Amino acid sequence: MKITEIPVTCLVEARDKLGEGCFWDAANECLWWLDIIEPSAIHRLHVASGAYRRWQFSEKVTAMAKRRDGTLLVGSQKGLNVFDPETGALSPWRAIDPETPGNRGNDGACDARGRFWFGTMMNNIGPLGEDLPITAATGKLFRIDADGTPTVMESGIGVSNGPCWSPDNRTFYFTDSMAQIIWAYDFDLDSGAISNKRVLNDTKDYGYPDGAAVDGEGFIWSARWEGSCVLRIAPDGRLDRVVPMPARRVTNVCFGGARLDTIYVTTSRLHVAEVDLRRHPLQGGLFCFDPGVSGFEKHAFAG
């Protein structure tokens, strides 16, 4: 394992309270990401031109995926919504986990069949953005089929994060940030079933694992909350590389660019200590770096 000092660029000084949910939209050559804490926001950046737009919402938005008609599937505090960039409307579609009203949505991504994997967790954000304690592992992992049918795939989760898949679609990776564990499962692409849960990586040396993406060589890139870095983890769980970041709270990563060989990184600045803000004043921004390997565009939702 080596520490790799790679030049890191801040593309947008977004000052996100809790940046998250990034994905590359190849058809439109733009990068989407969001800010979870109210007033929450969806951001869009056309990287080549620098054209940037931001939409605000009164409900927490926490995860996104493309839809084939140009709209977005958006996970939020209460469930799933459809966002229309043409009108700016965020329309409720499906309630998720109403049986656990103390939970909120968190990270999500689509598999190669277009099913949306969406995790919940105990709500840890107060109405004024204050931190609330997570006192129980009440989170769940849902698989949302194209017709909106939710299926609980896992429960007992502290903080749901980082759903992603191996290049051959035979392994599913999922992170419980509170437990500081990245799990691996056998994955059946046809049925959408997971099995044979095991620990892929549980290092405690680099903060908390957050969002994740897989590169073309099958390595997992893990954003590290409170770790000031992004880790590259081998398919056998071995730490391969540490990429330092100019932010303490690194939240999510995705591959993008014309050749899918750029990693984009979201960060958070809310409640970061003043000494850390002085050291890294661009925290909360959207960053990027060249990892030396290409990855994959995230899949669109099938519905």
The reported pTM is: 0.97
Structural contact between residues 282 and 288, judged by C-beta atoms closer than 8 angstroms? no
206-257 tens-digit pLDDT: 999 999 999 999 999 999 999 999 999 999 999 999 999 999 999 999 999 9
Unique residue bearing structure tokens 């995230």: 298
25-69 tens-digit pLDDT: 999 999 999 999 999 999 999 999 999 999 999 999 999 999 999
DSSP-derived letter for residue 49 is T
Report the C-alpha gap between 137 and 129 in whole angstroms: 21
* C-alpha count within 13 angstroms, C-beta hemisphere, residue 180: 11
DSSP-derived letter for residue 293 is S
Report the C-alpha gap between 154 and 190 in whole angstroms: 19
Report the C-alpha gap between 126 and 146 in whole angstroms: 32
Largest Cα separation within the chain, whole Å, is 50
- 160-165 vs 150-157, strand pairing mode: unpaired
Element (H, E) at 275: helix 274-279
Residue 170, pLDDT above cutoff 80: yes
Q: What are phi and psi of 129, to 5 degrees?
A: 85, 5
Structure tokens at 3: 């520490």
pLDDT given for residue 128 in this prediction: 83
| Residue numbers annotated as active site | 210
Q: What are phi and psi of 59, to 5 degrees?
A: -110, 145
pLDDT given for residue 254 in this prediction: 98
Residue 5, pLDDT above cutoff 90: no
From first CA to last CA, the distance across the chain in angstroms is 41
> Cis bond leading into 98, ω under 30°?
no
Average pLDDT of span 279-296:
98
Q: Which of 124-133, 139-148, 194-203, 283-292 has the lowest mean pLDDT?
A: 124-133
pLDDT given for residue 3 in this prediction: 83
Structure tokens at 16: 């996100």
Q: What are phi and psi of 218, to 5 degrees?
A: 85, 10
All domains in the chain, ordered by first residue? 2-289 (2.120.10.30)
